[in-house]
Every structure is written in structure tokens, then in C-alpha cells.
Chain A
Amino acid sequence: MADIAVEAHNLTVSYHHKPVLWDVDFQLPQGSLIGIVGPNGSGKTTLLKSIMGLVQPDSGYVEIFGKPLEQVRARVSYVPQRESVDWDFPISVREVVEMGRYRPGRLLRRLDSTDKAIVRQSIARVGLEAFADQQIAQLSGGQQQRVFIARALAQQADLYLMDEPFAGVDATSERAILQLLAEMKVAGKTVVMVHHDLQTVQEYFDWVLLLNTRLVACGPVSSAFTEDNLRQAYGGQLTILSKVAHLVEEHDFPVRDRSKKQRT
């Protein structure tokens, strides 16, 4: 296995004594696109938050690039769920992306020209140049999602933790994000992404982590994304399973046909 980006050991997390993650153990390789998949409430968001140090585990620990988070925080960036902010907040796209350049010890200082240039580039990479000075409420859901991604890019990190960036996005945004993911992979970045759409797992990711409070499976998509594992993760939710079953059986998933079925 390549060098390890994220490693969790016996991680147990609970909210008010109700366990949400139970004894979760895994290693994620560097330089891959990794999907975290599981039913609603299975602890996916909580897992990202534990990696990011935003919730305290009851037991176990997480290491990033073989070190505790505090030592490598500057190399990790977080893209929270879109619902986690009030989009009526009076702030522009550029101002949000500038937050990616904030650092704890440097909050009193002004952003310098390098910071400004990085912010401009990050906005351009998600294709929002034309919207840079707009207030964030005026954007579509997909554009709002791209604002968060641009902010993460501005951090110039090596590991990206993204919480459902494809949820509720339009086709243009989806294409833009996929393009970025491809670029990030080429640049050797690691992306760990909570993903809700089982249909696209094989197409988007190299590696998958199936979760349902406990870890169901973690490995390369070809070996971990099996009907058996999905049944374990999703339990009785047969509609989802039947939809995906045929995908899992046909191993030659038609990636090239994607352009034809894309919504516009």
C-alpha cells in the first residue's frame, strides 16, 4: 500500500452517550480519491469531523500523514456540508474564499498579494470568476458548493475532506468538481469524500469506505464495493440495493457513456 494519508485506530464516537461510530479502524492511501458511503445517519459526517478534530472521540485516535492532526493541520482542508452555514450571511464569494488563507496565528494581519493571488486562482479553478463579488445567497446550490471547494483549494493542502460536495448540484457544477478532482489526483492530492450516490461510486473513486456506525469495508473499489458489503451497510433498504445490484455485477462499468446520460 502507498503511504498512508489517514489512519484511524479503534475510533469510537458518540453524541450524548449514543455511539455513532463504533470501533472504526482503517487506513486510507495517499494520492487517491476515496469515497465514504453509507446510509443516512450512519456516521459519515461524524467520521470526517473526527478526522478534522471537530468532535472528540470516546476512544481511539486518528493520525494524518502518520502524525497527530495538530502537527499537520496546515496540510488538511475541510469542505463542510453546504447546509452548515446560513447563506443569507452578508458576505461575498471572494471573502469566503479568502478564509482559506486565514491562519490561527495570523488573524490580525492583512492578506498579502500572494494570498490575494491564490484566492483569485482558486476562484478561477472552480469557474466562479464572474461571481467573485456577488453575495453568496445569489448563487445556485452547485455554485455555493464550489465556493466551499475554492476555499479549500486556497488552503493549498494535501488532504481534502469533503462532505457531500455533489449533493444537490447542477450538471455544470458536477462537471466542474469532477474536473477538479481529476486535477487534484494528478497533483498527488488525497481526497476523502462523503458521497450519497451509489450509482457513481465506481466511476468517481479509487477507494471506498463503507460505513454503518461500524466499518463495513474499506479498500479499493474493485474489491470493497461488493453486493455483499452493500447489503451489510444498507441492511434492509432493498430499493437502493436493487438499483445498485446490476452495477456491481457488471464489472465493466460504462464510464465512457457518461456524457450521453448526463442531464443538462
Chain B
Amino acid sequence: MNAFWIILTGTLVATSSGLLGAFLLLRKMSMLGDAISHAVLPGIVIAYLVAGSREPLPMLLGAAGFGVLATVLIEMLYRKARLQSDAAIGVTFTGLFALGIILISAFAGQVDLDLDCVLFGEIAYVPIDVWITPSGLNLGPRAVWILGGLLVLLLLLLGLGYKGLVITTFQAEYAAALGVSVSFWHYLLMSAVSVTTVVSFEVVGAMLVVAFMVVPPATAFLLTNKLQHMLALTVLLGLGTALGGYCLAAWLDASIAGAMSVVAGAFFLLALLLAPRTGYRHQLWQR
């Protein structure tokens, strides 16, 4: 049963992160998830100081707030200070992460926050934290419910906002010419990325979130030239990665998150070799 919950958790995170990651990839902002997962640290610490406990909701709000703040700062550094976009991302997330660390050390006495705990949730512990109703009914791991709820919200967002996201991603300038608000869709996507990153890394750790946000969409991009197929493939690859990663970890008795990341990378390499348009095999064929 534990295996089932872990694989389900992995698939839920892979689906949420991957669907958003696909849009980030097309916006050439793949590493934004990584940046956000670091930049939210001060938000978590401040929420903890204000709320005085490790209640998930205040922490989530604090983190999501700083996630959005990070994206605003990145935009401003890019537009106003004319920094390259990767430099803008780097400056912002290292700065905010450092601020978080300073806050933790400054309030060390009051903060019972372990960096490892905050940044590196552990997917192996998912089945332990179950949700039991007052009447004593065991509903399964809490994380699965939270991640499932998040995924439903994201699917709603992507379903309803599909046109807006696609047009502003494909050609922001043309969208603006039509009168579509480019910054609305930008910040909507960024808020979704912030919340998803925060909720997920609390459960499975930052590395796995970033791996799921970047690698399966990149793999899917190599394999198809239709966006809907790319999104569907991203989800399938996420499922395969969670399943394969769990098996690999069980076989090697290794870290589950590590094994899942390795499997994601293996799928990517395979796609790189076999992709119909860009793959190595295709290039040999052309010669």
C-alpha cells in the first residue's frame, strides 16, 4: 500500500509541475521553478514567526507571496534594470534565499525550522502522515488530498485559461495588440507556479519538484509538435517516471526522489536519441 501512495504522490506532483513546466519551457523560463523554490524561504520564516507555529496554511500563503514577489522582482530587473533574464532570476533567488537564511539565524531561538525540513520534504514519509476523520476513518495520506486538490485547481485554470496562456506565451506582442492583458496571464501563471512549487516541495522535496517541472516537459517537447500532445505526454512521462523511479529505488534501496529524477533524465536521453524531428537517429538518417 505504501508503494501505491508514494507512486500516486509522485504522479500528482509530476502532473501539476509538468503541466506548468511545459508553459515555462515554451516561455524559456524553465528554471523559474527552481528559483521560486529557493526564493520562498523568507516567506516561510516570516509566516512561521507571525503565526507562531508550523501550521501549513500561513506558511503556504507566506511562501506563495514570496514566490509571486520573486517573479515581480525578476520582471523588474529584466525590464527596468535591463539585466539578462537568467541573471535577473539568479540575482533574485539568491538574494531572497539569503534573506531567508539570515532571518532563520537571526531568530534562531524562536524558529524551530530546520532548513532540510523546509526545503527537502521526503516522499518516502508521505504514507506516514495520514488523514483520519474525527470518527476514526482513515482517508489515506494528507499529502495526496492536498496535491489532488491542487491538481484539480490547476486543471481548471489550464482548461479555462488555455487560450490566454497560449496566446501570451506564443506571442505576447500580438496578444497585447488584441488588447489581451499580457501581465495578467504572466502573473497568473507565476502564482500557479509559486503555489505548486511550495505545496509540492513541502511534500516531496525541492529537487524532485524542479526535476518534474523541467525534465518531462523538455522530453515531451522533443517528441511532438502539438501542444496538447506535449501536455498529455508530459503527464504520461510523469506517471512513468514516478512508477519507474519507485521501482528503481526499491531495487537499489536508494533515495526515491533521486531515483525518480534519474528515471526522468533517462527518458529525456532516450527522447534525445529517438525523437522524430531532432533525434540523433533522425539526424543519422538525414546524412
Contact residues of A with B, CB < 8 Å?
16, 49, 52-54, 70, 73, 76-78, 80, 84-86, 89-92, 95-96, 99, 102-104, 107-108, 135, 137, 151, 155
- Which of these, B82, B163, B221, contacts A90 with CB under 8 Å? B221
B136, CB-defined interface residue at 8 Å: no
Of chain B, the residue at the smallest CB distance from A134 is B225
CA–CA, A103 and B163, complex, Å: 10
Contacts A90-B227, A102-B167 given: A78-B221 contact, CB under 8 Å? no
Closest chain B CB from A44 CB (angstroms): 15
Overall SS of chain B's interface: helix
Q: CB distance B174 to A80 under 8 Å?
A: yes
B183, CB-defined interface residue at 8 Å: no
CA–CA, A208 and B123, complex, Å: 66
Residues of A with C-beta under 8 A to B224: 90
CA–CA, A10 and B7, complex, Å: 64
Q: CB distance B180 to A104 under 8 Å?
A: yes
B26, CB-defined interface residue at 8 Å: yes
CA–CA, A58 and B230, complex, Å: 43
CA–CA, A104 and B82, complex, Å: 29
- Which of these, B28, B161, B171, B229, contacts A80 with CB under 8 Å? B171
Residues of A with C-beta under 8 A to B230: 90
Q: CB distance A90 to B226 under 8 Å?
A: yes
Of chain A, the residue at the smallest CB distance from B22 is A90
Q: List 17 A-B contacts (CB under 8 A).
A: A53-B176, A53-B177, A54-B176, A54-B177, A80-B171, A89-B26, A90-B26, A91-B166, A99-B167, A99-B178, A102-B175, A102-B178, A103-B178, A107-B180, A108-B161, A135-B226, A151-B174
CA–CA, A77 and B176, complex, Å: 11
B148-180 to A contact mask, C-beta < 8 Å, 1/0: 000000000000110110110111011111111
Of chain A, the residue at the smallest CB distance from B163 is A107
CA–CA, A90 and B178, complex, Å: 21
Contacts A103-B178, A108-B160 given: A91-B227 contact, CB under 8 Å? yes
Residues of B with C-beta under 8 A to A91: 166, 170, 226-227
CA–CA, A91 and B230, complex, Å: 10
B181, CB-defined interface residue at 8 Å: yes
CA–CA, A73 and B177, complex, Å: 8
Q: CB distance A80 to B173 under 8 Å?
A: yes
Closest chain B CB from A81 CB (angstroms): 9
B214-243 to A contact mask, C-beta < 8 Å, 1/0: 000000010011110110000000000000
CA–CA, A29 and B229, complex, Å: 46
Q: CB distance A102 to B177 under 8 Å?
A: no
Q: CB distance A54 to B170 under 8 Å?
A: no
Of chain A, the residue at the smallest CB distance from B224 is A90
CA–CA, A44 and B121, complex, Å: 54
Contacts A84-B171, A91-B227 given: A104-B178 contact, CB under 8 Å? yes
Closest chain B CB from A69 CB (angstroms): 9
Closest chain A CB from B29 CB (angstroms): 13
CA–CA, A107 and B184, complex, Å: 13
Contacts A16-B82, A92-B226, A104-B178 given: A85-B170 contact, CB under 8 Å? yes
Residues of A with C-beta under 8 A to B180: 102, 104, 107
CA–CA, A53 and B82, complex, Å: 21
CA–CA, A114 and B266, complex, Å: 46
Of chain A, the residue at the smallest CB distance from B167 is A99
Residue among B28, B170, B227 with max Cβ neighbours from chain A (10 Å) = B170
Closest chain A CB from B186 CB (angstroms): 14
B177-205 to A contact mask, C-beta < 8 Å, 1/0: 11111000000000000000000000000
Residues of B with C-beta under 8 A to A104: 178-181
Closest chain A CB from B78 CB (angstroms): 13
Contacts A16-B82, A99-B167, A102-B167 given: A78-B226 contact, CB under 8 Å? no
Q: CB distance B82 to A96 under 8 Å?
A: no
CA–CA, A102 and B161, complex, Å: 12
Residues of A with C-beta under 8 A to B221: 90
